[in-house]
Amino acid sequence: MKKYLIVNTGSVSAKYAIYDEKSELFFGHFEIEAGKAIVTFYVDGNKNKPVTLKISDEIFNNSLDYFIKEAIKNNIIYKKEDISSISIRVVSPGTCFQSDRIVGDIFMSQITEEKEEAPRHVPATLKEIKEIKKIFSNTSIIGISDSAYHKDVPDFVKNYAISQKIAKDLDIYHFGYHGISVKSIVNKLKKNGQLSSKVIICHLGGGSSVIAIKDGKSFDTSMGYTPLEGLVMSTRVGDIDPVAVMYLGQKLGKDSTELEAYFNNECGILGLSGGKSSDIRDLLKLEENGDKDAKLALEKFVMSIKKYIGAYIAEMGGVDTLVFSGTIGERSYIMRDRICKNLEYFGIILNKKLNNKTVSDDKKISSFFSPVKVLVVCTDEMNQIAKETLKFFEIK
């Protein structure tokens, strides 16, 4: 049976998995926790028995090589040549990246051109592809689009308020991201009989977005041309007046490339907290100890999410289901509670006890009296990428 390597390089972490044509065989998640590099492994999709190890920075920076060696050590594969194909999540602006594609010379040329437009993801993706090619020199690589799910949004969502000719010539559109995650959540809701007509998904993590799903399809999403638009995020500024952008560039003496790096890496809750942390857990502890900057950063994060929830309720003419997903959405009952506070007017009422005890589990957390269902649904991007990989080969 063929085996596939799935690669998901995020803005602050890296995930790898080996699948056969039926299921997940081996998984590894490399991340930074409390300033230290760690990796979490589990075998045969058994998430109830994770093994978490502290690792060196060197291993963290060479995570794919370490993962493959661990897969061989655990008899998942006997040699690297057992991997028949590799799929990697691709986050990049451009109409050409709204479909799944073989990673060849044309793909590499096009994504290299977009490197400066999505500096949190494209450089990491290019680095990962380079590493893949070094380890697997003769294995085909497929780029799985993170924006494909949003390609059929209404034209009034897709288009910015600029000349349509200029938009077409320069390929500037509201592409949206987190599409692989959202598709996995929608599929889960459908499978469990929970997919309603009007759904709002809050995918909250290092990168965060709010997505409106109408009749099972993407209707609107907070991320735009790049993942920088939308919510206040860990290190990303989110929505900001374009004139303020130009003024900041002028006053800080930064050119467009430097300014984009600033907005991606030094802003968001990290910037608002005075550079103390981009981690919600750290900021909650700081806030508890009276830190006003941490309090402001958390309030701004919550406010930005509420604004998009309200906007999408208005756009869709209501909401039936509110979903929390992503690292923060799945793990932080405190942030879910703060986001839902004062949304009772829209029919969103939490069951505090259910909310407080739900961590990284698919659960309904709304009150019995809540007209709107509020759910925690764990995203499964890796499994969705594996499904898209098999579908890609079926089409081909």
Which region holds residue 349: left if phi is over 0, alpha if psi is between -120 and 50, else beta? beta
Whether 146 is catalytic is yes
In DSSP terms, which residues pair with 32 in a beta bridge? Answer: 37
Strands in 13-19's sheet, in edge-to-edge order, are 51-54, 36-43, 24-33, 13-19, 3-9, 83-90, 140-145, 101-102
What does the block give as tokens for 154?
């209404």
**Beta carbons of 52 and 64 less than 8 angstroms apart:** no
Radius of gyration of the chain (CA): 21
Q: What is the DSSP letter of 255?
A: -
Tell me how far apart the terminal alpha carbons of the chain are, to the nearest angstrom: 19
**Beta carbons of 302 and 338 less than 8 angstroms apart:** yes
Strands in 363-364's sheet, in edge-to-edge order, are 217-221, 209-214, 198-203, 321-325, 373-376, 363-364
What does the block give as tokens for 331?
């793990």
**Beta carbons of 62 and 118 less than 8 angstroms apart:** no
Chain center to CA of 39: 19
**Beta carbons of 326 and 379 less than 8 angstroms apart:** yes
C-alpha to C-alpha distances, 34 to 54, 279, 392, nearest whole angstrom: 11, 9, 39
Residue 43: how many other CB atoms lie within 10 Å: 17
Pick the catalytic residue from 20, 57, 82, 146. 146
Supply angle C-alpha 332, 336, 340, rounded to 5.
170
Strands (E), 303-366: 321-325, 363-364
Enzyme catalytic residues: 146
